[in-house]
Structures are given as C-alpha cells and as structure tokens.
C-alpha cells in the first residue's frame, strides 16, 4: 500500500493525519504546489491555510508575494538550509480550477461549488473526484444578499431575488421599498459564487442574470461598490459583506433567516454553501495531501474561522422554541441543545454524503469529550414533502436511523430517535436542491 493510498484511507475514516516537513520534497526551483480556482477561497483563506501549513512544518520567513497579475499570489517560506519554498495561488473562479487540473497546470482545485457532472467526466482520467478522499469540504460559507446600509428593506425571498436579478423587478418601489431604479451587482462568469447564485436562485426559476448587471472578479470590489450605491443590490460570500447591509432570506415555507453563523454552520440558511478542495486521486503531489490534511485539522479550521468563514468545529447551541415549531420539537428545545451540524445525504440515496462522513468523526469526538455517550443524544430526522405524510414521517426517521447505525459502532447509546417528516422546511421543495437540504438529521444533546 502506497503512502498516498494510506493517507486517503485515514482521511476518509476521519483519523488524524500529519505530515512532517522532512516528508515533503523541496525542489531547487519551481513551486511545490499550484492551486487554482475560487476567488472566494483564493483571495485570503487559501493563502492563509498554506501559510499555516508552512509554519507548522517549520518553514521560516513565511509570507505572501503578489505578482503583477490580479488575483494571483505566491506564498513563500524558507527551509532551515535557506532553500526557498513556493506555493502558487491563482484565484480566477471555480471553473478555472477544474480547467487547470485538466491542463495539468494545477495540483489542487479550490471551488466554492460542487464539481459539475461535465467536469467530473472531463477529469475522469485523474480518478473519481467525487470520492470521499478527493472531494474535501474545508469550510461553510453563506451567500449574503447585500444592500446599501441605508436601504430600509430587511427581508427578501428567493422568488423576489430571481425577479430582481433577472431584471423583471426594476424598481425598489415594486418590492415595497423606495429609491427608484434597482442597480445590479454580480460576480463574473468564472466565479463559483455566481454559479451558486445562478443554481439556487435563477436557474431554479428558469431565469438568467440581467445583462445590465455590473460584473466583478473581485469580491471586495463588488461589496464596496454596493455599499456606495443607495440603489444597489448584490450577492457575495459571507466574509465580504464589509460595509454593506445583509438582509434576511426566505425560501419557500422557511422562516426568514439572516446569514448568521449558527444557521450557516447547519446549512439551514437558504443561501449557505460548501467550500471545497478537490484533490485528484491519481495525483502524486504530497504538498496537496498535506494541505488537505491541515485544512481539516483543528488548526486549519481555526484559520477558516479567523478568515470570516464558518468552521466545521462542532458546538452545542441553545434553540429558542416558537409557535411555528411542532410541539415535540419545542419540548426538545426546552430541555436539550442542538449541535452545529446537520447530516445530509447523497442525491437520491440514503448514503451519507462526503461532508457527513467527516462530520461523523467530529460529532463522535464531541460526544466523547463531553461524556454524552450514554443516553444523552437524540437524533432528529426531517424530509421533503410527500403525497403521503406518513411516508414522509417514516423516511425522516429512517434517515436518523442511518446516522444512528454509524455512531452505534463507536459505542454511543441513544436517548431517542425522532422523525418530523416534512415539517420545518429550510428550503423550497420545488427543486432538487431544496429537497436535498430538507432531507437532514439534527443532533441534540442533554
């Protein structure tokens, strides 16, 4: 068994993986690692993770250098022997990362959206990029809908967003506000942020972005432009709200949700999304392996949080009961706390998805560290609406049972397994993505 295969097996199993500096080659010239893709990741988070990895390995004088090309940089360190070590980061949009893997001009793709089927097919010679070892969720982000700070609107639904950004709603007065014509701001076509917005807001309703929208490659520049335009509206990754105003979002029958850390961590917020590293299974770059392992470690996740994204660290949070909750759920919220993670499943399957597989280890660590292995954990399943409510209830409980099966293997004895069917949706059931988000399992601890 090769070192790389062993590494991937340990990573998939959630076992701690460390790579010492002596294990990583430092060639006399050229970069040791090339990362291309998402601007959301590459602008700050990716370089910060690389710097953290370099420092953990004992490299000296770690810093970033910006070449003349916009949205590109080099992260540089120095060995004890004085040898320069470089990692190249190019942040021109998620699709450029997959193109770079295909052209062998990158070793690791950074993406703020899942890989597309067409990209998966084009890259099949590199191995299965949807396999657990290849598709690595490194952080959770939320798309914030931003307005000028003085805009009086506080809430919009996804149907309104589709009408706004397609150009069908042209004035603020049509939305109950004031200010005249709406000015649109959007990321460029290469952006995973744009791909996410297009998928969850526009395409779901058969609409396209209005050609009058001002387009930006830089997240910071877009946000600053909206914050200076009283008639402006834009969409942006969570860390880039800056001086603008974020509004609460409603999707289908969900409650209005602000892009709060707790709602994004559980992926309940309607415009939450995952940030990925894609590591080609057939690749041979140990620096890529080491960066993925570092990103998933507690040190890496601390860097995620420090850069304004949502770390995947599991914590308990109090939930305030309200009249819109089923009585059984209200009772649960009065006596227990909910963990900041939801288990979700592969499309059309009862199989846990790649993030859920990693979250199993994180949840198990929390349960053990807090001594809650003996009847102090309740699993709560939810699903999408079915023609037969009884079937929805059954399926929601079966999803919770799927999570139970995995944790029981590690000695967890559960207090209760509950299913609430199609109640309390967090997304519209009118599209596949919404139904997938609604099919979830929550973890509660006493």
Per-residue pLDDT of the chain (446 residues; tens, 9 = 90+): 444 545 555 555 545 454 444 579 888 889 999 999 999 999 999 999 999 999 999 999 999 999 889 899 999 999 999 999 999 999 999 999 999 999 999 999 999 999 999 999 999 999 999 999 999 999 999 999 999 999 999 999 999 999 999 999 999 999 988 889 999 999 999 898 998 899 889 988 999 999 999 999 999 999 999 999 999 999 999 899 999 999 999 998 888 999 999 999 999 999 999 999 999 999 889 999 999 999 999 999 999 999 989 999 999 999 999 998 999 999 999 999 999 999 998 876 778 999 999 999 999 999 999 999 999 999 999 988 887 888 888 989 999 999 999 999 999 999 999 999 999 999 887 777 778 889 999 999 99
Structure confidence at residue 18 (pLDDT): 47
Architecture in CATH for domain 142-263: 3-Layer(aba) Sandwich (3.40)
The pTM of the full predicted model, rounded to 2 decimals, is 0.84
Nearest to 273 by CA among 62, 144, 113: 113
Name the pairing type of β-strands 183-187 and 214-216.
parallel
Listed in sequence order, the residues at least 6 apart from 127 whose beta carbon sits closer than 8 Å to its beta carbon are: 134, 280, 281, 282, 283
**Fold that domain 3-134+279-306 belongs to in CATH:** D-Maltodextrin-Binding Protein; domain 2 (3.40.190)
Contacts of 275 (CB under 8 A, 6+ apart): 38, 40, 41, 45, 110, 111, 112, 137, 138, 139, 140, 141, 309
Token look-up 């049972």 returns 401
* pLDDT computed for residue 348 by the predictor: 67
Which tokens sit at 186? Answer: 């959007």
> Residue 171 carries which DSSP code?
B
Q: Do domains 3-134+279-306 and 142-263 have the same CATH topology?
A: yes
Could you tell me the two tokens for 297?
Answer: 């470690």
User: Taking the domains of the chain in order of start, what are their residue ranges?
Assistant: 3-134+279-306, 142-263, 314-445
Domain 314-445 listed as CATH 3.30.1330.60 = yes
Instruction: Dump the DSSP string for 192-260.
Output: HHHHHHIIIIIGGGT----TTSEEES-HHHHHHHHHT-TTEEEEEEGGG-TTSEE-EEE-TTPPPB---
Chain centre to alpha carbon of residue 88: 23
């Amino acid at each position: 068994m090769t070192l790389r295969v062993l590494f991937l097996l340990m990573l998939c199993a959630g076992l701690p993986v460390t790579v010492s500096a002596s294990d990583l080659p430092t060639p006399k010239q050229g970069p040791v690692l090339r990362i291309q893709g998402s601007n959301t990741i590459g602008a700050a988070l990716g370089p910060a993770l690389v710097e953290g990895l370099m420092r953990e390995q004992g490299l000296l004088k770690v810093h970033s250098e910006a070449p003349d090309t916009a949205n590109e940089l080099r992260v540089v360190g120095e060995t004890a022997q004085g040898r320069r070590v470089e990692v190249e980061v190019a942040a021109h949009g998620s699709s450029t990362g997959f193109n770079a893997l295909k052209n062998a001009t990158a070793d690791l793709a950074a993406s703020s959206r899942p890989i597309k089927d067409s990209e998966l097919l084009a890259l099949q010679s590199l191995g299965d990029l949807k396999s657990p070892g290849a598709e690595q969720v490194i952080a959770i982000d939320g798309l914030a809908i931003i307005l000028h700070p003085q805009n009086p609107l506080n809430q919009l639904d996804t149907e309104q967003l589709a009408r706004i950004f397609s150009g069908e709603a042209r004035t603020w007065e049509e939305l109950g506000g004031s200010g005249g014509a709406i000015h649109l701001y959007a990321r460029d076509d290469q952006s995973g942020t744009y791909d996410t917005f297009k998928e969850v807001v526009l395409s779901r309703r058969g609409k396209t972005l209005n050609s009058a929208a001002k387009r930006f490659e830089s997240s910071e520049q877009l946000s600053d432009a909206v914050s200076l335009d009283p008639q402006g509206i834009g969409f942006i990754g969570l860390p880039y709200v800056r001086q603008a105003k974020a509004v609460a979002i409603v999707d289908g029958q969900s409650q209005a949700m602000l892009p709060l850390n707790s709602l994004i961590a559980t992926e309940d917020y309607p415009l939450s999304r995952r940030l990925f590293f894609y590591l080609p299974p057939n690749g041979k770059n140990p620096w890529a392996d080491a960066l993925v392992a570092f990103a998933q470690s507690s040190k890496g996740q601390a860097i995620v949080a420090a850069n304004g994204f949502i770390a995947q660290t599991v914590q308990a949070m109090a939930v305030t009961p309200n009249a819109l909750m089923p009585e059984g759920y209200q009772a649960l919220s009065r006596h227990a706390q909910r963990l900041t993670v939801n288990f979700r499943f592969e499309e059309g399957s009862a199989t846990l998805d790649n993030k859920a597989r990693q979250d199993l280890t994180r949840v198990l660590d929390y349960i053990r560290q807090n001594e809650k292995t003996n009847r102090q954990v309740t699993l709560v399943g939810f699903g999408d609406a079915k023609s037969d409510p009884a079937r929805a209830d059954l399926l929601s409980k079966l999803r919770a049972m799927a999570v139970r099966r995995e944790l029981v293997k590690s000695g967890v004895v559960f207090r209760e397994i509950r299913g609430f069917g199609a109640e309390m949706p967090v997304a519209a059931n009118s599209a596949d993505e919404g139904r997938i988000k609604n099919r979830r399992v929550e973890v509660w601890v006493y």
